[in-house]
């Protein structure tokens, strides 16, 4: 049976992997909507290839270019935040939400409100607006399937089990490219984005290098799998073969293993509750040889500590953490601050007590986000 799908963030790494799987199973899918931030040429090419109903570019200044590229196709071209939300609200069997950053919050909420299944690859939806989003999921009868390899692994390990039987959830972290680098103050953007195992965008790669990625994933896991923050832990696993583990009260630990290829967790979501083929090579454990594990070094990489403290504080703190980190990472990539200052800036913004209490709506979340970005930018200028 053919299923309908929309992909928000079609030109990014998750979007590209999703479309690769759909190409291999064209009879199973009808692509309704595709969106991109500013890559009009690729978006238009994909929209033509999959004969979509609507293509949306986030950058309103590129609307003319998109319309020109799609002239004569009958595909609707649109631009801007409202258009992204309209595309996300179209009734489909599945929405892949892969827009990076808080720009994805409105579209994710729009997808939730149409009550379908959302394959969630946008961390910020649950990090910055976890309580708001999970309440909306319950209210509209939507289904969230986690795309992040770690959360997808947990989801698979929990299949058929009761959340009350869980003793521990363990998120694995590769440790990134800088785990063994002594002088973090001298790290360049090129070094930070050179992830040893995963092919990701620049921002997520820097987050992996700082360990903020794992801190954000901890907050996300807290909302997806409500076992309590004190039962979610992090372990560094450089080989990135075990993607996460769940330990049950009887002493059994279930682990999900797989190659470092996002097509595996995406395929898990696309086929759920069934399975589908992927082109990924099977694991050769004999060739891998050994799997190693280490406790996180929260002195050199304080991001996971800051994220746990923000999650424990609740209220606006997780949204503040995320916003400040986005500003800091952008400044580092622009060579305005050293790598070692990313976590310092985030902690300084978190220490600012002027932020409002827990946001109760998406608009309030976005207000906290804007306020935190402004404060982070001010601190950058003072440095």
Please check whether residue 159 is in contact with residue 225, taking contact to mean a CB–CB distance below 8 angstroms.
Answer: no
The answer to whether 123 is annotated as binding is yes
Q: Is the pTM of this model over 0.85?
A: yes
The answer to whether 363 is annotated as binding is no
The answer to whether 11 is annotated as binding is yes
Structure confidence at residue 381 as a pLDDT band (50, 70, 90): confident
Q: What is the predicted pLDDT for the residue at 383?
A: 59
Provide CB contacts within 8 A for 375, sequence distance 6+.
324, 349, 352, 354
Taking only the tens place, the pLDDT of each residue in 250-275 is 999 999 999 989 999 999 999 999 99
Alpha helix segments (H runs only) across 211-361 = 212-224, 263-271, 285-288, 303-313, 317-333, 341-350
Q: Each residue of 147-172: b (16+ CB within 10 Å) or e?
A: bbbbbbbbbbbbeeeeeeebeebbbb
The answer to whether 106 is annotated as binding is no
Query: Which residues on neighbouring strands pair with residue 254, listed in sequence order?
Result: 246
The percentage of the chain sitting over the pLDDT mark of 90, rounded to a whole number, equals: 86
Taking only the tens place, the pLDDT of each residue in 359-371 is 899 999 999 999 9
CA–CA separation, 89 and 122 (whole Å): 16
The answer to whether 124 is annotated as binding is yes
> What are 287's two structure tokens?
């060739």
Q: Is 175 helix (H, G, I), strand (E, B) or coil?
A: coil
The answer to whether 131 is annotated as binding is no
The answer to whether 240 is annotated as binding is no
Structure confidence at residue 314 as a pLDDT band (50, 70, 90): very high
Q: Which of 169-178, 221-230, 332-341 has the lowest mean pLDDT?
A: 169-178
The answer to whether 325 is annotated as binding is no
The answer to whether 201 is annotated as binding is yes
Structure confidence at residue 356 as a pLDDT band (50, 70, 90): low
The answer to whether 14 is annotated as binding is yes
Nearest-CA neighbor of 151 among 222, 100, 210, 207? 222
The answer to whether 183 is annotated as binding is no
The answer to whether 214 is annotated as binding is yes
Structure confidence at residue 199 as a pLDDT band (50, 70, 90): low
The answer to whether 260 is annotated as binding is no
HSE, side-chain direction, 13 A CA sphere, residue 331: 25
CATH 2.40.50.1020 fits 314-383, yes or no: no
The answer to whether 61 is annotated as binding is no
Class level of CATH domain 3-146: alpha beta
Q: What are the residue ranges spanned by the domains of the chain?
A: 3-146, 148-299, 314-383
The answer to whether 25 is annotated as binding is no
Taking only the tens place, the pLDDT of each residue in 127-170 is 999 999 999 999 999 999 999 999 999 999 999 899 999 999 99
The answer to whether 322 is annotated as binding is no
Q: What is the predicted pLDDT for the residue at 100?
A: 85
Distances (CA, A) of 194 to 191, 214, 266, 293, 317: 5, 17, 23, 21, 30
């Amino acid at each position: 049976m053919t299923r309908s799908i929309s992909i928000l963030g079609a030109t990014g790494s998750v979007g590209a992997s999703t479309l690769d799987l759909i190409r291999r199973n064209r009879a199973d899918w009808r692509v309704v909507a595709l969106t991109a931030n500013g890559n009009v040429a690729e978006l238009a090419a994909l929209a033509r290839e999959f004969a979509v109903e609507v293509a949306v570019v986030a950058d309103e200044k590129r609307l003319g270019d998109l319309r020109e590229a799609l002239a004569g196709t009958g595909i609707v071209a649109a631009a801007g935040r409202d258009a992204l939300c309209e595309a996300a609200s179209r009734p489909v069997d599945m929405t892949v939400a892969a827009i990076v950053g808080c720009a994805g919050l409105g579209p994710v909420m729009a997808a939730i409100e149409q009550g379908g299944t959302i394959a969630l690859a946008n961390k910020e939806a649950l990090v910055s607006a976890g309580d708001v989003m999970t309440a909306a999921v319950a209210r509209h009868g939507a289904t969230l399937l986690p795309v992040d390899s770690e959360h997808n692994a947990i989801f698979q390990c929990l299949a058929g089990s009761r959340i009350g039987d869980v003793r521990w959830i363990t998120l694995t972290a590769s440790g990134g490219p800088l785990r063994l680098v002594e002088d973090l103050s001298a790290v360049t953007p090129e070094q930070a984005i050179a992830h040893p195992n995963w092919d990701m965008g620049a921002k997520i790669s820097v987050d992996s290098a700082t360990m903020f990625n794992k801190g954000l994933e901890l907050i996300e896991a807290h909302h997806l799998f409500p076992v309590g923050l004190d039962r979610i832990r992090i372990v560094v696993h450089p080989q990135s073969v075990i993607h996460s583990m769940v330990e049950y009260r009887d002493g059994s630990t279930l682990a999900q293993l797989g190659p470092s290829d996002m097509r595996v967790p995406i395929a898990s979501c696309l086929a759920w509750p069934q399975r589908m083929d992927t082109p990924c090579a099977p694991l050769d454990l004999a060739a891998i040889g050994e799997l190693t594990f280490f406790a996180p070094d929260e002195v050199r990489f304080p991001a996971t500590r800051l994220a746990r403290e923000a999650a424990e504080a609740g209220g606006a703190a997780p949204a503040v953490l995320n916003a400040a980190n986005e500003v800091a990472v952008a400044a580092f990539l622009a060579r305005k601050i050293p790598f070692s200052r990313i976590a310092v800036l985030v902690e300084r913004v978190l220490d600012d007590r002027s932020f409002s209490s827990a946001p109760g709506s998406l608009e309030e979340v976005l207000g906290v986000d804007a306020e935190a970005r402004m404060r982070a930018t001010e601190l950058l200028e003072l440095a």
